[in-house]
Amino acid sequence: MNQQKKSASTSRKKTGEALAFIETRGKTGIIGALDIMPKTSEVSFFDRVNIGSGMVTVVYTGEVAASRAAHDAAASLAGKLGEFVAGNVIPRPHERIYSLIQQRPGEVSSEGLSGRSLALGIVETYGFPGMIEAADRGIKAADVIIPGWVTVGSGLASVFFRGDVAAVHSAVEAAAVGAERVSRVEGLHVIPQPHRGTEEAVPVGHGGEAPPDRKVSHDDALGILETRGITPLVEGIDSGLKAAGTVVQGWEKIGRGMASTLFRGPVSDVKASMEAASASASKIGKITGSYIIARPHPELDKGR
């Protein structure tokens, strides 16, 4: 079954001229969309994506006019059956978009990243169709790579761009304009030279050799940074790592649009990292939690 789907998807990349998206909150509207789209015009099912918070997107592919007709019929029906969130039609999508849609959130494609020092761009939107529109606009606007995307709940989805600084700025600007046409932009940011620890902690892809693995002791202080959306969190992680000799222990999706990370190291370093991280993150988004534990109990790691 999976092989059949993969083969069909590969074929559609060559023949389909457009992708049509319908996003609803709840299953009733999406079932209606799944049924009416191929009944309206000659389109073929491509994928279904669930980003949480009851938000589901179906994607069909076909000729541009057929895709628009199917989209319009489904959008009208979905609004009658339940909550219609967003819809979109992308004529002649960039070839990377097909694999990006089928790439699971948090997965990383490192193709083209190896051995290069690349800027990082983030565009965070409300809903999946807006994020894919951002991805398509961005990669068409500049010579950039898209390693992947993530979601943190509450309908927030983020796409990452990597490339030269000027190219990433151009991609993010174009992506934001495109996304606003479909939904709303929750956050956007460019980091010219991301810290290697940031690349290791967040699924943004990286090139070259991994940094030395530093062991974390139970005696190390612990700093917690929690934000709404991943855009301010990535900036906080990067600024915190650049400010002091700390280690970031990955990141975690909390749900309801919140994400968090942990800084570990000597007390003075954790304090310096948290100050820098909080200051930077608060400039581009909302901090929902910030706390430093100077001497964490050994049992803490078992329950966190």
- What would the pLDDT profile of 114-143 be if each residue is shown by its tens digit? 666 899 999 999 999 999 999 999 999 999
CA distance 57 to 242: 38
Mean pLDDT of the chain: 91
CA distance 30 to 110: 33
Write down the pTM of the prediction: 0.91
- What would the pLDDT profile of 40-91 be if each residue is shown by its tens digit? 999 999 999 999 989 999 999 999 999 999 999 999 999 999 999 999 999 9
Residues ≥6 apart with Cβ < 8 Å to 1: none
- What would the pLDDT profile of 223-263 be if each residue is shown by its tens digit? 999 999 999 999 999 999 999 999 998 999 999 999 999 99
Higher pLDDT, 255 or 282: 282
**Can you list the domains of the chain with their CATH numbers?**
2-94 (3.30.70.1710), 115-193 (3.30.70.1710), 221-303 (3.30.70.1710)
Supply the pLDDT for residue 91.
97
Contact 186, 178 (CB under 8 A): no
Q: How confident is the model at residue 303 (pLDDT cuts 50, 70, 90)?
A: low
Q: How confident is the model at residue 217 (pLDDT cuts 50, 70, 90)?
A: low
Residues ≥6 apart with Cβ < 8 Å to 248: 197, 198, 200, 201, 237, 240, 241, 261, 262, 263, 264
